[in-house]
């Protein structure tokens, strides 16, 4: 299964730089997500790899073939790249039946009728849409249309499958179902998936690696859990995870203590970490703020969002406003007093650059 390599790829629309000097290596068999807010260049990147958009600069290769090279004037058309593309609004041809939609691409590959029929039936079965063979797209629900679109894309057996926010038009429950199926499909089809989404949860749950972008610039490219626990900068930290990470203004001192709000604590960094005096932003995931009778610091409950499985609690502690998550079906009365403590990891971001420069833990914060 092919590996995809992007080198120094830039795309400009007039003066606007959509993608800025992007280097990316997508291993074979990977499930990669391009993640970022709208307008960050993720869809443009996907379309450039597929050949639907022409880059301004750089080279792109799929497997051992160079499919685009600005300097050598190479630009393979999309159909020669042996890829599949699943569109956000499915792009099913409304005047063709489900069968015709799936078969149309195969007819172009000059397959014989028998073989086309077999392949279409195989896909219909695989995606559980056998009974809709003769229907038109408008006669199907969103989820069924989605399956037809997937079947159509998979029909020629592409080695690489591109997906542009394919689940964003589905309702929450269907989206959940389709996620599991996509992940299974990735395994069954044994191909490389490149997936665009702005939903960090989708990126977290589906992919083997996440490529997070902002304003055309790659921010971090790492496996999802690594990205979650050790985000490269403030943007990534804020984008990954819901509820969002707590960001607290503070200061790191040369003796290794961190002061923030009315609190201070000594920071235990990684091996070889040398503290220096500077302004920082302290990042703490909500689940690392523990609420309970064994807590060490007092706070007031500002509001709560219980969802059954977990409860998000907004706390006020002197000048600090903190978000905590409690994994239980509990609720706290508003304005009640609780005890809390910081657990496990905390990250120090450089306030000036926003970069993550140390990941460690806080030791017994106390009021000063």
Partner 1 sequence: MDQAKPAKSRALRVLGQIRSWLSQPSNIILLFFLIALTVLTLYPLLSMLTETFTIHTGREARAARLTAGTLSMYHFERLFATAENDYSWIQFYQPLLNTLLVSIAASLIAIFFGGTVAFLVTRTDLKYKKFVSGVFTFPYIMPAWTLALFWETFFKNVHIGLKTSNGIMASVFGVYMPEWFVYGAFPIALVLGLHYAPFAYILIGGILRNMDANLEEAATILKTSRGRVIWKITLPIVKPAMLSTLLLVFASSMSAYSVPVFLGSPVRFYVLSTKMKSLMDSYPGQAYIIVGVMILFGVSILLLNQKVTNSRKQFTTVTGKSGQISKIRLRKANRPIAVLLVILLLLFAVVPLITFAMESVIIKAGDYSLKNMTLDFWIGTHLEERLDQGDSTGILLNPKVWNALGFSLALAVTCALVAGTCGILVGYGVARKRGTRLAGWVNSLSFFPYLMPSLAFGAIYLAMSSRIPWLRGFLLLSLVGSVKYLPFASRSGVNAMLQLSGEIEEAAVITGVPWWKRMLRVLFPIQKSSFLSGYLLPLVSCMRELSLFVLLVPTSNTILTTMLMQYSEKGWAQFGNAINLLIILVVLLINYLVNKLTGASIDKGVGG
**Which residue in the set 10, 75, 168, 259 belongs to the binding site for partner 1 (CB under 8 A)?**
75
Residue closer to partner 1 (CB basis): 95 or 364: 95
Which 8-state DSSP code applies to residue 89? T
Q: Are 23 and 83 a contacting pair, CB within 8 Å?
A: no
* Sign of the torsion formed by the C-alpha atoms of 326, 329, 335 and 340: negative
42 contact partners, CB below 8 Å, separation of at least 6 = 34, 35, 36, 196, 198, 211, 213
Q: In what order do the strands lie in the sheet with 289-291?
A: 289-291, 337-342, 297-306, 311-317, 320-326
Any contact of residue 84 with partner 1 (CB under 8 A)?
Answer: yes
Report d(CA 200, CA 251) in Å as an integer.
30
Piece of 3-11, 81-89, 188-196, 344-352 that binds partner 1 (CB under 8 A)? 81-89
Least Å from the CB of residue 291 to partner 1: 44
Piece of 37-45, 47-55, 211-219, 300-308 that binds partner 1 (CB under 8 A)? 47-55
* Sign of the torsion formed by the C-alpha atoms of 181, 185, 186 and 187: positive
Residue count at the site for partner 1 (CB under 8 A)?
A: 32
Piece of 4-12, 100-108, 115-123, 232-240 that binds partner 1 (CB under 8 A)? 100-108
Chain position carrying tokens 């006020």: 316
Buried b / exposed e over 71-108, threshold 16 CB at 10 Å, is: eeeeebebeebbbbbbeeebebeeeebbbbbbbebbee
Q: What are 195's two structure tokens?
A: 């997936």
> For residues 151-190, which are near partner 1 according to CB under 8 A?
152-153, 156
Least Å from the CB of residue 126 to partner 1: 18
243 contact partners, CB below 8 Å, separation of at least 6 = 286, 312, 323, 325
The full length of the chain comes to 368
Any contact of residue 108 with partner 1 (CB under 8 A)?
Answer: yes
**Which residue in the set 91, 174, 222, 345 belongs to the binding site for partner 1 (CB under 8 A)?**
91
Any contact of residue 94 with partner 1 (CB under 8 A)?
Answer: yes
Least Å from the CB of residue 49 to partner 1: 12
Any contact of residue 105 with partner 1 (CB under 8 A)?
Answer: yes
Over the window 219 to 258, marking each residue x when it contacts partner 1 by CB under 8 A and - when it does not, the resulting string is: ----------------------------------------
Any contact of residue 39 with partner 1 (CB under 8 A)?
Answer: no
**Which residue in the set 9, 61, 85, 283 belongs to the binding site for partner 1 (CB under 8 A)?**
85
Least Å from the CB of residue 53 to partner 1: 10
Concatenated DSSP letters of 72-85: TTEE--GGGTTEEE
Contacts to partner 1 by CB under 8 A: 50, 52, 54, 69-75, 77-80, 83-85, 87-89, 91-95, 104-105, 108-109, 152-153, 156
């Amino acid at each position: 299964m092919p590996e995809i390599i992007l080198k120094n790829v830039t795309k400009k629309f007039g003066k606007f730089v959509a993608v800025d000097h992007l280097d990316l290596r997508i291993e074979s068999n990977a499930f990669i997500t391009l993640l970022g807010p709208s307008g960050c260049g993720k869809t443009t990147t996907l379309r450039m790899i597929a050949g639907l958009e022409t880059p301004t600069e750089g080279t792109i290769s799929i497997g051992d073939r160079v499919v685009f090279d600005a300097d050598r004037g190479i630009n393979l058309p999309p159909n020669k790249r042996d890829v599949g593309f699943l569109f956000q609004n499915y792009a099913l041809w409304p005047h063709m039946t489900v069968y015709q939609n799936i078969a149309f691409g195969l007819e172009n590959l000059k397959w014989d009728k028998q073989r086309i029929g077999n392949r279409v039936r195989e896909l219909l079965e695989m995606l559980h849409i056998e009974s809709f063979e003769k229907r038109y797209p408008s006669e199907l629900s969103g989820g069924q249309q989605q399956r037809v679109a997937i079947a159509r894309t998979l029909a020629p057996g592409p080695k690489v499958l591109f997906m542009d926010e394919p689940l964003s038009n589905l309702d929450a429950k269907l989206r959940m179902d389709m996620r599991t199926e996509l992940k299974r499909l990735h395994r069954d089809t044994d191909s490389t998936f490149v997936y665009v989404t702005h939903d960090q949860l989708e990126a977290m749950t589906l992919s083997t690696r996440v490529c997070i972008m902002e304003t055309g610039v790659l921010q971090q490219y790492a496996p999802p859990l690594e990205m979650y626990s050790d985000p490269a900068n403030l943007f990534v930290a804020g984008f990954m995870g819901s509820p969002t990470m707590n960001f607290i203004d503070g200061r790191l001192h040369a003796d290794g203590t961190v002061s923030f709000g009315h609190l201070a604590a000594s920071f235990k960094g990684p091996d070889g970490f040398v503290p220096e005096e500077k302004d920082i932003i302290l990042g703490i995931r909500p689940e690392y703020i523990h609420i309970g009778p064994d807590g060490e610091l007092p706070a007031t409950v500002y509001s709560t969002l219980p969802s059954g499985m977990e409860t998000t609690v907004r706390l006020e502690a002197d000048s600090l406003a903190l978000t905590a998550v409690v994994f239980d079906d509990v609720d706290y009365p508003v304005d009640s007093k609780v005890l809390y403590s910081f657990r496990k990891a905390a990250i120090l971001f450089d306030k000036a650059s926003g970069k993550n420069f140390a990941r460690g833990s806080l030791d017994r914060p106390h009021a000063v």
